[in-house]
Amino acid sequence: MRRTVGGKKSVRGAATDAVNTTIQPSRAKIIVCSSGKGGSGKTCLTRNLAVFAAHAGLRVATIDLDPQRGLTNWYAVRPGEAVAIPNVAVPLSNLDEAMRRAGALGDLDLVIIDTPPGVDASPAEMRQLLLLADFVLVPTGQGAGDLRSVVEWMAFIRREQRPSAFVLNLTVRSAGSFDRAKQRLIEAGDLCPFDIRLYESIRVSDEIGLGVAEMKGANGLSDVRGVFTFAMNTLGLKVPNDV
Ligand SMILES: Nc1ncnc2c1ncn2[C@@H]1O[C@H](COP(=O)(O)OP(=O)(O)OP(=O)(O)O)[C@@H](O)[C@H]1O
Ligand SMILES: [Mg+2]
């Protein structure tokens, strides 16, 4: 069965005027990482969840819809011996093509999609993308400025009736703003019970083409594991191996 969005009913029954957008196989779950705020950790979350999923034994691929290609550049520095994760790089403006190429990757359990900053600049394309999502993760920092834009973005996602959750990222748990952020976010949507702390090892892993799950003793592994487990439980995806 094909998952089809385009002038027909989507999997969840929402109608759209979009052109045909298909991804095969229908059993692949789709996570979209998006945020109303640049630099909140969309790409970081995408790559760390993808690495975690690959090591957990899931067949996973990523899609980089950001013309700046931060995710694709990370693949370019990824060591040759690291576990292979297929990636499709096509801008959001050509979502149809991105989905066609992802569909051509074959049998997958999970597809994780990284989106460009400034999602509000292309609401039509984002709406089309959201309709494909089984789960939308919205990473955010804990500062007041970050919260304002992600709360607005979450309202948009919820109007589209997509399953979604905020993920607090780059956190400093000892700061008063951490609890205030949790309070603000839980008023505006669902909140992942695990946050990802600000760790140098996460930044470093980014620079050397790895995920924290691939760096021995790296800080942040338990944080990423928490978010991954939360996402898999929400999607109802069975995970073959412990990481
Ligand atoms: N938890 C974290 N701890 C330390 N560094 C982090 C963490 N999360 C993200 N970073 C770093 O913060 C920077 C911004 O993260 P990232 O590129 O993932 O954000 P983004 O939302 O994709 O940005 P953009 O909107 O520009 O695409 C990167 O250098 C990344 O390595
Ligand atoms: Mg990015």
Instruction: Dig out the tokens for 128 from the structure.
Output: 């089309």
Residues near ion ligand 2 (Cβ under 5 Å): 42-43, 70
Atom from ligand 1 closest to the CA of residue 117: 25
Q: Please tell me the distance between residue 170's alpha carbon and the centre of ligand 1 in angstroms.
A: 8
Rounded CA separation 25/44 (Å): 26
Residues within 6 Å of ligand 1 by CB: 35, 38-44, 66, 70, 117, 169-170, 196, 198-199, 202-203, 206
Residue 5 lies in a domain: no
Residue 209 lies in a domain: yes
Residue whose Cα lies nearest atom 15 of ligand 1: it is: 41
pLDDT of residue 27: 80
Q: Please tell me the distance between residue 99's alpha carbon and the centre of ligand 1 in angstroms.
A: 25
pLDDT band at 6 (very low <50, low <70, confident <90, very high): very low
pLDDT tens digits along 171-209: 999 999 999 999 999 999 999 999 999 999 999 999 999
Q: Please tell me the distance between residue 205's alpha carbon and the centre of ligand 1 in angstroms.
A: 11
Least confident of 4-8, 74-78, 212-216: 4-8
Pocket residue to mutate for ligand 1, from 68, 150, 206, 212, most atoms within 8 A of Cβ: 206
Instruction: Tell me 39's DSSP state.
Output: T
pLDDT of residue 23: 56
Domain that holds residue 168: 33-235
Angle separating helix axes 200-207 and 42-55, nearest 10 degrees: 80
pLDDT of residue 26: 60
Residue 243 lies in a domain: no
pLDDT tens digits along 87-109: 999 999 999 999 999 999 999 99
Q: Please tell me the distance between residue 8's alpha carbon and the centre of ligand 1 in angstroms.
A: 37
Rounded CA separation 161/179 (Å): 27
Residue 94 lies in a domain: yes
pLDDT band at 147 (very low <50, low <70, confident <90, very high): very high
Judged by its nearest atom, the ligand closest to the C-alpha of residue 118 is 1
Residue 241 lies in a domain: no
Give the count of domains, the chain: 1
Please give the backbone phi and psi of residue 229, each rounded to the nearest 5 degrees, phi first: -60, -40
pLDDT of residue 36: 86
Residue whose Cα lies nearest atom 3 of ligand 1: it is: 198
Residues in the chain, total: 243
Residue 15 lies in a domain: no
Mean pLDDT of the chain: 90
pLDDT of residue 121: 81
Residue 215 lies in a domain: yes
Rounded CA separation 231/228 (Å): 5
pLDDT band at 21 (very low <50, low <70, confident <90, very high): low
Q: Please tell me the distance between residue 172's alpha carbon and the centre of ligand 1 in angstroms.
A: 15
pLDDT of residue 61: 98
Determine contact, residues 129/115, Cβ cutoff 8 Å: yes
More confident residue, 27 or 188: 188
CATH number where 216 lies = 3.40.50.300
Residue 232 has pLDDT above 60, yes or no: yes
Rounded CA separation 219/185 (Å): 25
Rounded CA separation 227/137 (Å): 10
Rounded CA separation 55/242 (Å): 8
Residue 183 lies in a domain: yes
Does the CA dihedral 122-101-69-232 come out positive or negative? Answer: positive
- Residues 51-58 have a mean pLDDT of 98
